[in-house]
Chain A
Amino acid sequence: MTFEQPATAHLPASAPGPAIDVAHLVKLYKTTRAVDDVSFTIARGSITGLLGGNGAGKTTTIAMIMGLVLPTSGRVQVLGRAMPAQSAEVLGRMNFESPYVDMPMRLTVRQNLTVFGKLYAVPHLRDRIDALAADLDLKEFLDRPSGKLSSGQKTRVALAKALINQPELLLLDEPTASLDPDTADWIRQHIDAYRRTNNATILLASHNMLEVERLCDRVIIMKRGRIEDDDSPSNIMLRYNRATLEEVFLDVARGRAQEPVS
Chain B
Amino acid sequence: MTDVATADTGRGIAPHRIGAMILRYWYLLISSWPRLLELVYWPALQIVTWGFLQTYIAENAGFFARAGGTFIGAIILWDILFRGQLGFSISFLEEMWARNLGNLMMSPLKPIEFLISLMIMSLIRLAIGIVPMTLLAIFFFHFNFYSLGLPLIAFFCNLIFTSWSLGIFVSGLVLRNGLGAESIVWTLMFGILPLACVYYPVSVLPHWLQIVAWILPPTYVFEGMRALLIDHVFRADLMVDALLINAALFVVSFAIFMALLNSARRAGSLLGGGE
Contacts and interface: CB of A to CB of B under 8 A. Distances in A.
B225 to A, nearest CB: 33
Contacts of A106: 27-28, 31-32, 98
B266 interface: yes
A139 interface: no
A60 B268 contact: yes
Interface string B172-204: 000000000000000000000000000000000
B115 to A, nearest CB: 14
Contacts of A104: 24, 28, 94, 98, 100
A20 to B, nearest CB: 15
A63 B102 CA distance: 10
Contacts of A13: 1
Residues of A contacting B: mostly: loop
B17 interface: yes
Interface string B74-114: 00000000000000000000100011111111111110000
B49 interface: no
Residues of B contacting A: mostly: loop
Interface residues of B, number: 48
Nearest to A200: B1
Interface string A61-95: 00100111110000000000000101111011101
Interface in A26-44: 27, 29, 34
A115 B107 CA distance: 11
A155 to B, nearest CB: 14
Given A69-B268, A84-B265, A168 B5 contact: yes
B8 A4 contact: yes
Interface in B246-260: none
B269 to A, nearest CB: 9
Contacts of A67: 105-106, 265
Contacts of A3: 12-15
Given A8-B6, A70-B262, A2 B11 contact: yes
A216 interface: no
Contacts of B103: 101, 103, 116, 161
A100 B100 CA distance: 9
Nearest to B269: A69
A225 B79 CA distance: 51
B2 interface: yes
A145 B2 CA distance: 30
Contact of B10 (A89, A145, A161): A89
Contacts of B27: 106-108, 111, 115
A138 B105 CA distance: 25
Contacts of B16: 6, 118, 121
Given A101-B100, A104-B24, A7 B9 contact: yes
Contact of B102 (A101, A114, A115, A122): A101
A95 B109 CA distance: 13
B1 A12 contact: yes
Interface string A45-65: 000000000000001100100
A115 B20 contact: yes
A89 B6 CA distance: 11
Nearest to A197: B2
Contact of B107 (A29, A34, A91): A91
B4 A128 contact: yes
A84 to B, nearest CB: 7
Q: Which has the most chain B C-beta neighbours within 10 Å: A68, A119, A122?
A: A119
Q: Which has the most chain A C-beta neighbours within 10 Å: B1, B2, B3, B272?
A: B1
A107 to B, nearest CB: 5
A91 B20 CA distance: 16
A102 interface: yes
Given A1-B12, A106-B32, A118-B19, A101 B271 contact: yes
B1 A118 contact: no
A123 B4 contact: yes
B109 A198 contact: no
Nearest to A106: B31
B270 interface: yes
A199 interface: yes
A107 B24 contact: yes
A2 B50 CA distance: 47
Given A114-B23, A118-B17, 17 more contacts: A4-B11, A4-B12, A10-B1, A34-B268, A68-B102, A69-B268, A87-B10, A88-B11, A91-B106, A92-B6, A96-B106, A101-B272, A102-B98, A119-B108, A121-B14, A166-B1, A198-B2
Interface of A: 1-4, 6-13, 27, 29, 34, 59-60, 63, 66-70, 84, 86-89, 91-93, 95-96, 98, 100-108, 111, 114-116, 118-124, 128, 145, 161, 165-168, 198-200
